[in-house]
């Protein structure tokens, strides 16, 4: 008999086993029973299951959600939403004599959480544009919920907070996105996202790790269509350049872009500074500046097993 | 002048520039630990070295007193700003240490940079900007001021104040119709006050009964150079609750010191900007607090 044991996330019912009052009851969702693990006594039965009605295989909504009772309850994010909405109505009987639909009032649903639900929708849309996985979206939703409940950033636009939460979630998951990438999918300016980012870190009293050049290599290189050797070479060049402190004070994104430029120019797949600048969100003069800093020691920066299409002394010098 | 060991805060110095008293320096044997609010460098906490330090400081201070006078110029700052004890007071909190450590090991010379324990940096932050406010005490008609005064601009659609500039001291003032005025750009407190008075005189000459009430300095900005490159990544790792370093947003590290409440912008090149101070002493104190920490994160290559 497969039993799921819920943790303390859902409130335990006040029934307890008569023989073992402090045993935590195990819930069998299929039969709707609460079972004492010590003696096996079925204590509560006909417990209503709040999971979804049947399995739907798509993550997002299909055209027609076949669930008759609505979505699975998401207790972590909503405020325990037990309201009923009257939907638009099908068929001729739902319209009264003037052509207006009867039962117009379908607006009032958890007004306190309406803004939060809107924000979740916005987060989902933004994340979808850059193909972020479910775990980042969930983390973003959680962060937004914490910030929203704290109310310390209440005056700020919810979209700005949502964008900043998305940025923080990507950082926390170890796959940081640049501010410019988040800007590209959000209507908020980089400045405002940066401000909200700092405020949220202060409000939640967390911190994030510093970004490194290697975090962005795989994304930038695959967007440019560079082969794996070039990507590995660029990663090595950027890391070596930072270790040798050839680029003090430069943003890691600029250093990564310059390293990609050097690696691609030394290989068969040459990319121009403009192309790399477009992908990385860096101006091509910035790439030029960082490239000038790493060019003098180019020979040491390449990995030892790199196959040069263009030798080091023939690398472009700008 | 408290020798109060319950406040072990590391206070570098009070106001060296033209100040009468050395302020309230607190000298405590617990100094290297400090309170949680003051940034503490990672130091060796060998009590012997601390005692030796105290001893040397006392001797220097006595030597300094022999020189007499507060020079107030940056040429002699290494000695002046090192003093931790109040002039004339030679008591340390530790009983009975004087005879033991008064050995030839501690020369009566200025501080050698070799000791790892706390010592002064010898660098004085220079003030770059002072913002002050004053109340002229009467309602003003900005249009007449803008029309009749020289070097005044007034664009009510953009900003509701007259922007006036004078050349000596080179400052800018925002004069509001309520009679309040903001004066920015001065390099010292006296210059700020003098400039504010000049603006008040200009307004007075235009026919308004201007007074000079509640002159107050609101913000002071200072900058200096520690002359060595700094590893900002290391600093943000260890002082996470005070620092914010986002190279995408700003190339410098923003360090929010809690005691004194000063914001420092620390750059890789070693330049430091300090702001948010109401008095000069806070800037100096903040720099003395941060200097040992920055030394710990010096780039070695």
The domain ranges of chain A are: 111-204, 213-314
Confidence class of residue A22 from pLDDT cuts 50, 70 and 90? confident
Per-residue pLDDT tens over the stretch A106-142 = 566 666 678 888 899 999 999 999 999 999 999 999 9
Min Cα distance A299 → chain B (Å) is 20
pTM exceeds cut of 0.90:
no
Which listed CATH number (3.30.310.10, 3.30.70.260, 3.10.20.30, 3.40.50.1220) goes with B132-217?
3.30.310.10
Sign for the pseudo-dihedral over CA of B208, B211, B213, B217: positive
Q: Superfamily for A213-314?
A: Cyclin-like (1.10.472.10)
Q: How far apart are CA B219 and CA B127, in angstroms?
A: 11
Q: Does B18 touch chain A (CB under 8 A)?
A: no
Cα-based distances in Å from B227 to A205, A246, B265, B298: 33, 18, 15, 10
Q: Please state which of the ranges A309-318, B5-14, B195-204 shows the lowest mean pLDDT.
A: B5-14
Q: Is B202 helix (H, G, I), strand (E, B) or coil?
A: helix
Which of A245, A249, A253 comes nearest B267 by C-beta?
A249
> Is residue B45 very low, low, confident or very high in pLDDT (cuts 50, 70, 90)?
very low
Listed residue (B145, B161, B217) closest to B184, CA to CA: B217
Domains B132-217 and B226-297 share a fold: yes
Comparing CB atoms, the residue among A198, A207, A211 nearest residue B240 is A207
CB within 8 A of B165, min separation 6: which ones?
A: B151, B171, B172, B173
Beta strand segments in chain B, E: 126-135, 152-154, 161-166, 171-176, 180-186, 213-225, 243-244, 253-257, 262-266, 271-277
Domains A111-204 and A213-314 share a fold: yes
Interface test with B, best of A248, A256, A257, A282 (most B CBs within 10 A): A248
pLDDT in tens, B109-139: 554 445 455 567 789 999 999 999 999 999 9
Quote the percentage of chain A above a pLDDT of 90.
Answer: 55
Quickly name the fold that domain B226-297 has.
Answer: TATA-Binding Protein (3.30.310)
**pLDDT at residue A250 is higher than 50:** yes
Mean pLDDT along residues A23-39:
80
Contacts of A248 in chain B (CB under 8 A): 229, 268-269, 299
Cβ <8 Å between B251 and A178? no
Inspect the interface and report whether the beta carbons of B236 and A249 lie closer than 8 Å. Answer: no
Q: Which of residues 164-183 of A touch B (CB under 8 A)?
A: 178-179
Show me where the domains of chain B are located.
132-217, 226-297
The CATH class that applies to domain A111-204 reads: mainly alpha
B contact residues 223-282, partner A, Cβ 8 Å cutoff? 229, 233, 236-237, 240-241, 244-249, 251, 267-269
Distance from CA of residue A103 to its chain's centroid? Answer: 38
Strands A42-45 and B180-186 come out as: unpaired
**Residue B153: band (very low, low, confident or very high) from pLDDT cuts 50, 70, 90:** very high
Instruction: Check the CA dihedral A311-A302-A254-B291 and report its sign.
Output: negative
């Amino acid at each position: 008999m497969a039993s799921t044991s819920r943790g303390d996330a859902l409130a335990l019912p006040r029934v307890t086993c008569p023989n073992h009052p402090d045993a935590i009851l195990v819930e069998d969702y299929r039969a709707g029973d609460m079972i004492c693990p010590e003696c096996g006594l079925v204590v509560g039965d006909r417990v209503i299951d709040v999971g979804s009605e049947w399995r739907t295989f798509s993550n997002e909504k299909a055209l027609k959600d076949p669930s008759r009772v609505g979505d699975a309850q998401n207790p972590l994010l909503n405020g325990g939403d037990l309201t009923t909405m009257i939907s638009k109505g099908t068929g001729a009987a739902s319209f009264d004599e003037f052509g207006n639909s009867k039962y117009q009032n379908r607006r009032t649903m958890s007004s306190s959480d309406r803004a939060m639900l809107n924000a979740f929708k916005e987060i989902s849309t933004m994340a979808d544009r850059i193909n972020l996985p479910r775990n980042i979206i969930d983390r973003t939703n959680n962060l937004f919920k914490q910030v929203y409940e704290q109310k310390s950033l209440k005056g700020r636009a919810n979209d700005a907070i949502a964008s900043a939460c998305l940025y923080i979630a990507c950082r926390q998951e170890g796959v940081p996105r640049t501010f410019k990438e988040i800007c590209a999918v959000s209507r908020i300016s980089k400045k405002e996202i940066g401000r909200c980012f700092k405020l949220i870190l202060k409000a939640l009293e967390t911190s994030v790790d510093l970004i490194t050049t290697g975090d962005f290599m795989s994304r930038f290189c695959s967007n440019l269509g560079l082969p794996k050797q070039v990507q590995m070479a660029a990663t090595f060049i950027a890391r070596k350049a930072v270790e040798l402190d050839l680029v003090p004070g430069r943003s890691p994104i600029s250093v990564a872009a310059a390293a990609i430029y050097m690696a691609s120019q030394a290989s068969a797949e040459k990319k121009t500074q403009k192309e790399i600048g477009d992908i990385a969100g860096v101006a091509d003069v910035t790439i030029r500046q960082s490239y000038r800093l790493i060019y003098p020691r180019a020979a040491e920066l390449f990995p030892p097993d790199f196959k040069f299409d263009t030798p080091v002394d023939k690398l472009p010098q700008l | 002048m408290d020798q109060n060991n319950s406040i072990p805060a590391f206070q570098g110095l009070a106001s060296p520039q033209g100040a009468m008293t050395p302020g309230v320096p607190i000298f405590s044997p617990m100094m290297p630990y400090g309170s949680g609010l003051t940034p503490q460098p990672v130091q060796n906490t060998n009590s012997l070295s601390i005692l030796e330090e105290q001893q040397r400081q006392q001797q220097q201070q006595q030597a300094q007193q022999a020189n007499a006078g507060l020079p107030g110029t940056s040429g002699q700052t290494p000695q002046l700003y090192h003093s931790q004890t109040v002039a004339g007071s030679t008591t340390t909190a530790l009983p009975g240490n004087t005879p033991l450590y008064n050995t030839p090991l501690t020369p009566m010379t200025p501080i050698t940079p070799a000791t790892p324990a706390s010592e002064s940096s010898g660098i004085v932050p220079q003030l770059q900007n002072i913002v002050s406010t004053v109340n002229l005490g009467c309602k003003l008609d900005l249009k007449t001021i803008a029309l009749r005064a020289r070097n005044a601009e007034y664009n009510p659609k953009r900003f509701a104040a007259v922007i006036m500039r004078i050349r000596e001291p080179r400052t800018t003032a925002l004069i509001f119709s309520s009679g309040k005025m903001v004066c920015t750009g001065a390099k010292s407190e006296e210059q700020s006050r003098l400039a504010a008075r000049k603006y008040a005189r200009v307004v007075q000459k235009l026919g308004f009964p201007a007074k000079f009430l509640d002159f107050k300095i609101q913000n002071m900005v200072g900058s200096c150079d520690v002359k060595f490159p700094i590893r900002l990544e290391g600093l943000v790792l260890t002082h996470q609750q005070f620092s914010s370093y986002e190279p995408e947003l700003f190339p410098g590290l923003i360090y929010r010191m809690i005691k004194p409440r000063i914001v420092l912008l620390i750059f890789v090149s070693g330049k430091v900007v300090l702001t948010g101070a109401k008095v000069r002493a806070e800037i100096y104190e903040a720099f003395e607090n941060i200097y040992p920490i920055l030394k710990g994160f010096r780039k070695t290559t």
